[in-house]
Amino acid sequence: MIAYILCFILFLVGLYGAVTQRNLVKIAISLSVMEFSTFLFFALLGYIDGGVAPIVNPAEPARIYVDPLPQALVLTAIVIGLATTALLMAVIIRLYRKYGTFDIREMKNLRG
């Protein structure tokens, strides 16, 4: 249970950063932190004590495997997370070239 709670705290740290920070790079970092906490939570959900990694060994088939379904879902989500981060950083570098700053407050003031 304590691992679930720590995972949730990691998510909250990312949320705090994403809402309160004004620097675009730090907002991107906070979003990655939130992503990673979610992946970790899924992996925690599928864990079984004494289980082995879900790879079938025909020599000794009667073992307990950990749940492969959350792992498959997270595998998809990790790669999509990389794609979104790359897109986000492309937008950020484009904004920096236009405004010369990472600060979202100053970008708002420069508008118009």
Q: How far apart are CA 75 and CA 77, in angstroms?
A: 6
Q: Is residue 62 a contact point for another protein (CB under 8 A)?
A: no
Q: Is residue 86 a contact point for another protein (CB under 8 A)?
A: yes
Which is closer to another protein, CB of 80 or CB of 110?
Answer: 80
Q: How far apart are CA 70 and CA 45, in angstroms?
A: 8
Cβ at position 7, least distance to another protein in Å: 6
Answer for which of 56, 63, 98, 110 binds another protein (CB under 8 A) is: 56
Of 42, 41, 38, 31, nearest to 87 by C-alpha is: 31
Which is closer to another protein, CB of 8 or CB of 110?
Answer: 8
Q: Is residue 59 a contact point for another protein (CB under 8 A)?
A: no
Answer for which of 63, 68, 109, 110 binds another protein (CB under 8 A) is: 68
Give the CA distances from residue 26 to residues 19, 32, 78, 89, 112, in Å, rounded to whole numbers and listed in that order.
Answer: 10, 10, 20, 11, 25
Q: How far apart are CA 100 and CA 98, in angstroms?
A: 6
Cβ at position 111, least distance to another protein in Å: 16
